[in-house]
Structure formats: structure tokens, C-alpha cells
């Protein structure tokens, strides 16, 4: 009898909360999770491209008034520590397949220069090299992810790099490392075997690259008894499913820990549009491209399941983000773009997709960290600002290494013209202390969304939250107004029994904490 009354009570409450069938609803199964959201999904990417390294991370030790540690900006390190960056990919991107690591070690004044052919044709003086990057990762608290040169390098050059950074015993490369000032190896775990081998990494076919990959990894050893390396094959571009199929079929899985995938959200490669002055139509198109990630990871995962049903090989989305025209009067080869609320929505929705596919997507890298593409930080000489994307990644970092909770989501449509998308994106996790976090994104540019969340299998007595939103989807932070878009306390969530009622403003990102 008591149970029947309780059910009736819940039913009445549901009917009160759902006056129309078009309400958004989410069921969270708080006691059912079994998969971990790998913190490495929150990785970043730092290429020798434009002002990402030089002026972004690194200002050098001479002729600068900017506070630094061995040339690395202290403000940037502090911001990235707060973000809890789990891994950082370097030195590219396309640059990686032109990079010869020995040019970037030893006394800086003796290092040879090269021309950065992919990015603006500028002269690279190699003042930021292997030691600079790996020491910087230690400052940030991030694991390094080195992308090795396959396109224009050799197996010997690649394997000597591994030996240089990872070998604790006596060898020519460990001797050289010690001579250059580093006694202990860094024990780098993550290694990319080339980048975009189908394009700037050598214009190879999948079949040819699979053989090259086998050749390279045959001679790669961790050079350490204690640490296993994690080898990542250069992966497909967006929906190139043939590429994934061939790699999973032709590479022995004993030689493979991860297969990459690159997907950029771009309106049109020949007409990308402004990063900050855009219409709702352009916003909608970018959201459509971003939400395609759901289909891409599903389909690539299905192919991987065929060859690896136990899901041992990770899908590594090591380049993702929005790509627009460069800011006016900046070098077209430097890919410098502003970052608005649109990018915050893109990031929130994409991370939710990664969370919900955590069984296969176990690593990812947003492109790129500073001053390039969908950056989390912008710098201008001594000034630094945090972008809306930074704030989303900081709000979301509560999900790192938490247990993914299965959810069922029913959402209204975000309608634009004759097309529609989902309006609400969501994911949930339970951390080591039993706290439940939910991230919710209202993708709709104009319409507020009411969401009712039913938490099943856990007793919740408080709900708090943070929100990132702004008046317009075009809003962004500038050096004059660096805090225009920043997180605030979220007050529009209320708890009634197991039900949480949430009012999401248009174009907003919310993270709830349920205890």
C-alpha cells in the first residue's frame, strides 16, 4: 500500500513537471555504471604552428619581461594546472612529419634552423625542443604525447628518440640526454606513429600506412622495464571508415594500443566564416558538424568491435574542434581565431559524446591549446585570457576518471529552417567519493529548455551547479574585457524526491553536483 502511494505520488509529480509531452527528460541510472571516463579524453594539443608554442607557451629566457620558468610562461602553466590537463600532444600535427628531434636538443645557439613549410613558411629556430617540452609537461602536470616523424623521417631517427627520452641504462642516446642536462629519463608513454598519413603525413593509402606502421613499431621498445608505451596509429579523417577498417584488420593488435580519428567542425573548407561575427545559420551548421561526432565514434567503434570485441584498442580523437577564418590582419598560416559561446557549446556537447562512448573513446586532444584554432588560452604579449572553451573544460573536469552513468535522454528539437538537431546534450558520472555530476548543454540558440532528471538507484539530498552562458552566442572574452564570459553559480535546479528540475537558458552549459 505504502509502495503504491509512493508510485502514485511520483506519477502526480511527473504530470506536474511534464505539462506537455514536449518536455526534455533524462533518467540517470546512478547505480549501474561500469565504465570509467578516462581523464585522457581531456587532452590538449600543442603544435609548432603560429603562436601556439612561441608567444603562447614559450617566451624564451632572454629579452622578455613576461614571468617564466626556463622560458615557459608561468601564467599559462598555472591556468593549465587548474584545467587538470592529463596529456599534451606535440610537436604536431602536420609539423610532426617535418620535425627532426635532434635539431631541438643541445645548446640553443647551436641549434639549426628550418622552415615551417606547413604553417606560414616562417623560420623555426628550434629553441623549443624535446627538453623544453618534456620539462614543461612536468610543470603542467600533464603526460606528454609525442608525435613522431614517419612522413619524412626514418625508423632509426624515431627509435633513437624513444631511447633518448626513455632509457635509464647506458646507451648512446641516454648518454647524449645526460650530457644535455637530464639524468633521469622522462618515461614517455604516449607515442603517435606519424600524423594524418593520408594527407600531410605522406599522402599514403591505408594499406601502405598499415605496413609502415608495422615496420616502425617492430623497432619501438619502451626502453624501460617499468613503463609500457602506448602506440597510436595515425587515424582516419572524419568519416573515412575504410581507413579504420584497414588498420584494425592489417595491424596485429599486439602492436597497437590506439587508433586515431580527426574531426573538425567547419562550415565549408573554402569559406569557413568568421569565428565571432556569425549568423544563427552558421551557428546551426557548426553544431550539426560537431554533433556528427556521435555518428563518427559510433561507426568507427563498430568497425573496431568487429576486429577487437574486447575493446582493447582505444579510439583516440587526437584532433577535434571548431575551425573558422583567421582573425582579420593576422597571418593566414597561423590559424589564430577568437572563441565564443558557440565554441563553449561545441565543447560541452562533444565532451558529452566522448563520455557516453567511454568504452572505446579513451583519449582525445582538443586542437589547439593556445592561439590556434579552438584555443583554451589566448595571449597578446604579456596579456593572457581564458576562452569560453577553457571554462567548459574546467567545469567538466569533475568527470575525469569518474564512472560513467548510463542515461536515457528524451529531448526537444532545435529547429532551424527545414532542419533540426537535438536541443539538449547530457552525460553523467559518479566520482570516487560517490558524488554524481551531470553536464547539460542547451544547444538551442534561442529557446530555453526545461529538463526533468530522474535519479534512480541513489539517494540525493542536495543539488548545486555552475553555468556558462552569455547574452549572445557571439559573446567572447577580449584582452580589454577578459571576464565577459565566465562561469557563475547555477540556481535554476531544484530537487523533489528523486527528481531534479532544471531550467536551462538558451545556449548554455551547466554542470550539476548531486550529493
DSSP β-ladder status, 230-237 and 258-265 = parallel
Residue ranges of E strands in 303-382: 314-322, 361-366, 377-380
CB 251 within 8 A of CB 312: no
Taking the CA atoms of the chain, what radius of gyration do you get in angstroms? Answer: 23
Nearest-angstrom CA–CA distance, 58 and 337? 19
Tell me phi and psi for residue 283, to 5 degrees: -60, -45
Closest residue to ligand AHR using C-beta atoms:
93
Q: Running DSSP on this structure, what letter comes out for residue 418?
A: T
Give min distance, CB of 258 to ligand AHR, in A: 16
Question: Smaller CB distance to ligand AHR: residue 374 or 429?
Answer: 374
Give min distance, CB of 146 to ligand AHR, in A: 15
Give min distance, CB of 229 to ligand AHR, in A: 21
Question: Smaller CB distance to ligand AHR: residue 167 or 264?
Answer: 264
DSSP β-ladder status, 413-416 and 43-45 = unpaired
CB 230 within 8 A of CB 173: no
Instruction: Of 183, 243, 240, 188, give the one whose Cα is nearest residue 213.
Output: 243
Nearest-angstrom CA–CA distance, 195 and 502? 43
Question: Smaller CB distance to ligand AHR: residue 146 or 367?
Answer: 367
Question: Smaller CB distance to ligand AHR: residue 2 or 269?
Answer: 269
Q: Identify the active-site residue in 47, 124, 143, 196.
A: 196
Tell me phi and psi for residue 349, to 5 degrees: -70, -40
Tell me phi and psi for residue 328, to 5 degrees: -55, 145
Question: Smaller CB distance to ligand AHR: residue 93 or 104?
Answer: 93
Question: Smaller CB distance to ligand AHR: residue 284 or 323?
Answer: 323
Residue ranges of E strands in 307-390: 314-322, 361-366, 377-380, 383-386
Cα 88 versus chain centre, distance: 10
Which residues make beta-bridge pairs with 312? none
Give min distance, CB of 118 to ligand AHR, in A: 7
196 included as an active-site residue: yes
Longest CA–CA span in the chain (Å) reads 85
Give min distance, CB of 52 to ligand AHR, in A: 9
Q: Identify the active-site residue in 124, 257, 319, 394.
A: 319
Give min distance, CB of 421 to ligand AHR, in A: 25
Give min distance, CB of 446 to ligand AHR, in A: 31
- Residue 232: C-alpha distances to residues 124, 134, 261, 431 (Å): 26, 19, 10, 28
Question: Smaller CB distance to ligand AHR: residue 352 or 369?
Answer: 369
Binding site for ligand AHR (CB under 6 A): 47, 92-94, 195-196, 319, 367-368, 373
282 included as an active-site residue: no
Active site residues: 196, 319
Amino acid at each position: 500500500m505504502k509502495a503504491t502511494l509512493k508510485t502514485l505520488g511520483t506519477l502526480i509529480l511527473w504530470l506536474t513537471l511534464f505539462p506537455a509531452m514536449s518536455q526534455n527528460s533524462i533518467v540517470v541510472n546512478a547505480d549501474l555504471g561500469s565504465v570509467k571516463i578516462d581523464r585522457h579524453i581531456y587532452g590538449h594539443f600543442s603544435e609548432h604552428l603560429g603562436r601556439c608554442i612561441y608567444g603562447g607557451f614559450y617566451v624564451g629566457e632572454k629579452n622578455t619581461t613576461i614571468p617564466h620558468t626556463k622560458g615557459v610562461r608561468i601564467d599559462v602553466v598555472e591556468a593549465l594546472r587548474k584545467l587538470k590537463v592529463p596529456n599534451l600532444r606535440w610537436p604536431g600535427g602536420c609539423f610532426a612529419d617535418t620535425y627532426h628531434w635532434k635539431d631541438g636538443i643541445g645548446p640553443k645557439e647551436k641549434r639549426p634552423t628550418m622552415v615551417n613549410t606547413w604553417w606560414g613558411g616562417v623560420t623555426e629556430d628550434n629553441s623549443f625542443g624535446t627538453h623544453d617540452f618534456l620539462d614543461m609537461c612536468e610543470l603542467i602536470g600533464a603526460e606528454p604525447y609525442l608525435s613522431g616523424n614517419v612522413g619524412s623521417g626514418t625508423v632509426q631517427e624515431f627509435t633513437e628518440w624513444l631511447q633518448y627520452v626513455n632509457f635509464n641504462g647506458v646507451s648512446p642516446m641516454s648518454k647524449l640526454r645526460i650530457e644535455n642536462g637530464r639524468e633521469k629519463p622522462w618515461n614517455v608513454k604516449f607515442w603517435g606513429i606519424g600524423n594524418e598519413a593520408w594527407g600531410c603525413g605522406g599522402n599514403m593509402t591505408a594499406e601502405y600506412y598499415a605496413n609502415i606502421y608495422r615496420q616502425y613499431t617492430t623497432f619501438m621498445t619502451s626502453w624501460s622495464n617499468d613503463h609500457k608505451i602506448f602506440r597510436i596509429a595515425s587515424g582516419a579523417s572524419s568519416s573515412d571508415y575504410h581507413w579504420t577498417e584497414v588498420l584494425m584488420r592489417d595491424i596485429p593488435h599486439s602492436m597497437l594500443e590506439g587508433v586515431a580519428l580527426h574531426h573538425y567542425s567547419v562550415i565549408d573548407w573554402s569559406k569557413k566564416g568568421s569565428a565571432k561575427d556569425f549568423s544563427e545559420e552558421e551557428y546551426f551548421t557548426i553544431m550539426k558538424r560537431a554533433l556528427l561526432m556521435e555518428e563518427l565514434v559510433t561507426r568507427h567503434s563498430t568497425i573496431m568491435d568487429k576486429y577487437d570485441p574486447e575493446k582493447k584498442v582505444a579510439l583516440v580523437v587526437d584532433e577535434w574542434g571548431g575551425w573558422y577564418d583567421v582573425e582579420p590582419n593576422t597571418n593566414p598560416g597561423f590559424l589564430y581565431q577568437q572563441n565564443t559561446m558557440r565554441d563553449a557549446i561545441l565543447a560541452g556537447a562533444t565532451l558529452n559524446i566522448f563520455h557516453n562512448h567511454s568504452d572505446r573513446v579513451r583519449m582525445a586532444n582538443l586542437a589547439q591549446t593556445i592561439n590556434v584554432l579552438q584555443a583554451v588560452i589566448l595571449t597578446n604579449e604579456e596579456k593572457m585570457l581564458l576562452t569560453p572553451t577553457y571554462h567548459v573544460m574546467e567545469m567538466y573536469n569533475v568527470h575525469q576518471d569518474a564512472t560513467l552513468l548510463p542515461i536515457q535522454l528524451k529531448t526537444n528539437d532545435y529547429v532551424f529552417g527545414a532542419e533540426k538537431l537535438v536541443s539538449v546534450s547530457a552525460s553523467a558520472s559518479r566520482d570516487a567519493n560517490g558524488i554524481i555530476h551531470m553536464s547539460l548543454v542547451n544547444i538551442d540558440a534561442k529557446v530555453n529548455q526545461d529538463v526533468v532528471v530522474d535519479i534512480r538507484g541513489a539517494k540525493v539530498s542536495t543539488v548545486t551547479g555552475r553555468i556558462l552562458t552569455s547574452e549572445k552566442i557571439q559573446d567572447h572574452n577580449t584582452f580589454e574585457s577578459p571576464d565577459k564570459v565566465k562561469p557563475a553559480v547555477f540556481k535554476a535546479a531544484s530537487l523533489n524526491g528523486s527528481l531534479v528540475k532544471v531550467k536551462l537558458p538558451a545556449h548554455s552549459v551547466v554542470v550539476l553536483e548531486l550529493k
